[in-house]
């Protein structure tokens, strides 16, 4: 069983250290949970979500000021429950040691890979999906046999308190616990010598988390963001593409790390794209006030940030097309931003440098698909890429020529919804991945083990080396070369 990491002098005064030490002690005393115990923990979590689901929805609503109940039920409740059910159905198979095969170099000894829990995992969630983004990694953490300390986002405090109450009523704090608080608490959290840290949030904060974790040589899983591009080939029906882009872009008012961040469309299709968006968005959101389907921007700071991005783009020559069918005057304090398309956007404008995280969609035109691919590849690698094309061969080519954390062809966001696939970024958009089996592997130590039989190369490798060893090596090198 893994020993607790040594506590550095700087961590002695950390007020969160006793929580970690309590879990480390329990982990050492109790040993790794077996299959039955892990299933029991997953069942407890599932039951707790069922009991607290109404409180969860109400708390998220209160934190956002207003958020679509439907979207909260989909993302914060049902998707988490579905992931638990799927994990339970596969866990026994995942826990079995795997056989990597024998090797001549290892004397043809029997080999095995054993999956062991890493120990105590720190989970830092994000505000945009404040339940999903702490409970989804927790499922993988439990499945792999670890303990966990959870730090929900301080920007959604009411939801954080519900999660804290739910976990405290379900699990012993020496197994799973929740700490809430502001930036200072988050800073103390990252400095703890966890056995692994999972962080979901911005690239900027991700760098801070990774730097703090490096002091303890703590491995990290970073789920960040970036500017996920959407490319529409000229052969793809615009109306169908718009339907699918709308789902990904305007759910939670664009406050999704894998939301389409900008569109690349052939120059001959831009007018059709804009008119189709206007028509379909007007039907989707016939009014902006008293609309249960519209989620507010989470707080005043982010509301101001997004409006400033729009203004900066307009100051640089962009044309803003806002969809507000009833010309609703947005009441002060409601934090509603109408669905907005930006045309003729300067690539150097702020909105093309920052992740938008709002219902604003820049539209960039291209003349050929190579130009679109080059535009994507000249920028930091995104968390997701979306490509629309009726030509399967060409779609495969675009996927092979671009690098992103994940991708969808003729769809948006649903690669995240498949709990059987790893979810994660690359470079500035993230490090590592989880969900399903990938989560089990991410939070497991993969121990390579050799079981030697009667024969061993050891007698041939003891000094003084027999002359026959060199002869054998020369023959082997000749064969291998």
Q: Do residue 255 and residue 220 come from a single domain?
A: no
pLDDT for res 9: 43
User: Residue 22's domain is classified under what CATH number?
Assistant: 3.40.605.10
Using DSSP bridges, classify how beta strands 319-322 and 340-343 pair: parallel, antiparallel or unpaired: antiparallel
Q: What is the pLDDT of residues 57-86, one digit of tens each?
A: 999 999 999 999 999 999 999 999 999 999
Residue 471 lies in a domain: no
Q: Do residue 137 and residue 260 come from a single domain?
A: no
pLDDT for res 234: 95
Are 115 and 97 in contact by the 8 Å Cβ rule? The answer is yes
Q: Do residue 182 and residue 246 come from a single domain?
A: no
Q: What percentage of the chain reaches a pLDDT higher than 70?
A: 96
Give residue 1's pLDDT band: very low, low, confident or very high (50, 70, 90). Answer: very low
Q: Do residue 255 and residue 210 come from a single domain?
A: no
Domain end marker among 419, 454, 472: 419
pLDDT for res 267: 96
Residue 470 lies in a domain: no
Q: Does the pLDDT value for residue 25 go beyond 80?
A: yes
Q: Do residue 101 and residue 197 come from a single domain?
A: yes
Q: Do residue 163 and residue 264 come from a single domain?
A: no
Q: What is the pLDDT of residues 87-101, one digit of tens each?
A: 999 999 999 999 988
Are 450 and 404 in contact by the 8 Å Cβ rule? The answer is no
Q: Is 177 left (phi over 0), alpha (psi -120 to 50) or beta?
A: beta
User: Residue 383's domain is classified under what CATH number?
Assistant: 3.40.309.10
Q: What is the pLDDT of residues 168-180, one digit of tens each?
A: 999 999 999 999 9
Are 457 and 465 in contact by the 8 Å Cβ rule? The answer is no
Mean pLDDT of 135-155: 97
Whether 223 is a known active-site residue: answer yes
Mean pLDDT of 230-255: 96
Q: What is the pLDDT of residues 384-421, one digit of tens each?
A: 999 999 999 999 999 999 999 999 999 999 999 898 89
Q: Do residue 139 and residue 216 come from a single domain?
A: yes
Number of Cβ within a 10 Å radius of residue 464: 5
Residue 124 lies in a domain: yes
Domain count, the chain: 2
Are 381 and 404 in contact by the 8 Å Cβ rule? The answer is yes
Whether 257 is a known active-site residue: answer yes
Q: At what angle do helices 270-284 and 238-250 cross, to 10 degrees?
A: 50
Place of tokens 């979306």: 386
Active-site residue identified among 257, 354, 419, 442: 257
Domain that holds residue 173: 9-224+431-445
Q: Do residue 37 and residue 89 come from a single domain?
A: yes
Q: Do residue 274 and residue 188 come from a single domain?
A: no
Residue 175 lies in a domain: yes
Q: Do residue 173 and residue 54 come from a single domain?
A: yes
CA 171 to chain centroid: 25
pLDDT for res 462: 73
Mean pLDDT of 447-470: 79
Rounded CA-CA distance 344/363 in Å is: 7
Which DSSP symbol is given to 423? Answer: B
Residue 479 lies in a domain: no
Q: Structure pTM?
A: 0.92
Are 136 and 423 in contact by the 8 Å Cβ rule? The answer is no
DSSP-derived secondary structure for 259-317: S--EEEEETTTHHHHHHHHHHHHHHH-S-STT-TTPPPPSSHHHHHHHHHHHHHHHHTT
Q: Does the pLDDT value for residue 212 go beyond 60?
A: yes
Tokens of 244: 């699918």
Averaged confidence pLDDT in the chain: 93
Q: Do residue 304 and residue 412 come from a single domain?
A: yes
Residue 172 lies in a domain: yes
Give residue 328's pLDDT band: very low, low, confident or very high (50, 70, 90). Answer: confident
Active-site residue identified among 71, 223, 355, 442: 223
Residue 127 lies in a domain: yes
Mean pLDDT of 289-316: 94
Q: Do residue 31 and residue 163 come from a single domain?
A: yes
Rounded CA-CA distance 303/333 in Å is: 10
Q: Cα 73–77–78 angle (5° rounding)?
A: 85
Residue 52 lies in a domain: yes
| pLDDT top residue among 437 and 13 | 437
């Amino acid at each position: 069983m893994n020993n607790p990491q040594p506590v550095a002098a700087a961590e002695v005064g950390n007020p969160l250290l006793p929580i970690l030490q309590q879990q480390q002690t329990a982990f050492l005393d109790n040993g790794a949970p077996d299959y039955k115990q892990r299933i029991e923990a997953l069942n407890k979590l599932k039951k707790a979500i069922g009991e607290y689901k109404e409180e969860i929805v109400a708390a998220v609503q209160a934190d956002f000021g207003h958020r679509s109940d439907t979207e909260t039920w989909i993302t914060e409740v049902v998707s988490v429950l579905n992931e638990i059910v799927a994990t339970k159905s596969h866990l026994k198979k995942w826990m079995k040691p795997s056989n990597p095969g024998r090797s001549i170099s290892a004397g043809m000894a029997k080999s095995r890979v054993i999956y062991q829990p890493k120990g105590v995992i720190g989970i830092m969630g994000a505000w945009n999906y404040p339940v999903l983004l702490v409970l989804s990694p927790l499922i993988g953490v439990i499945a792999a046999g670890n303990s966990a300390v959870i730090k929900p986002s301080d920007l959604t405090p009411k939801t954080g308190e519900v999660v804290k109450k739910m976990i405290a009523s379900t699990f012993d704090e020496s197994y799973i616990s929740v700490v809430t608080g502001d930036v200072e608490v988050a800073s103390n959290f990252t400095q703890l010598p966890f056995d692994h840290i999972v962080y979901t949030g911005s690239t900027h904060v991700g760098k801070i988390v990774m730097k703090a974790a490096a002091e303890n040589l703590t491995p990290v899983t970073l789920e960040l963001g970036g500017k996920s591009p959407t490319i529409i080939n000229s052969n793809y029906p615009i109306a169908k593409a718009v339907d699918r882009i709308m789902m990904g872009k305007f759910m939670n008012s664009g406050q999704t790390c894998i939301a389409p961040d900008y569109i690349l469309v052939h120059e001959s299709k831009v007018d059709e794209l804009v008119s189709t968006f206007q028509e379909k968005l007007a039907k989707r959101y016939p009014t902006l006030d008293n609309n249960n389907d519209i989620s507010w921007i989470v707080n005043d700071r982010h509301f101001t940030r997004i409006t400033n991005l729009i203004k900066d783009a307009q100051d640089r020559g962009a044309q803003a097309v806002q969809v507000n069918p009833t010309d609703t005057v947005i009441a002060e304090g409601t934090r509603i931003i109408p669905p907005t398309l930006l045309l003729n956007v300067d690539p150097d404008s702020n909105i093309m440098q920052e992740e938008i995280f709002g219902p604003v969609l820049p539209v960039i035109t291209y003349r050929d698909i190579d130009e679109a691919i080059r535009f994507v590849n000249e920028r930091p690698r995104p968390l997701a890429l979306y490509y629309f094309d009726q030509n399967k061969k060409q779609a495969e080519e675009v996927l092979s020529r671009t690098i992103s954390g994940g991708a969808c062809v003729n769809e948006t966001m649903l690669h995240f919804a498949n709990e059987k696939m790893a979810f994660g970024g690359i470079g500035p958009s993230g490090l590592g991945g989880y969900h399903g089996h990938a989560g089990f592997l991410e939070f497991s130590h993969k121990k390579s083990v050799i079981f030697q039989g009667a024969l061993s190369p050891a007698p041939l490798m003891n000094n003084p080396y027999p002359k026959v060893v060199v002869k054998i090596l020369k023959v082997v090198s000749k064969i291998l070369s």
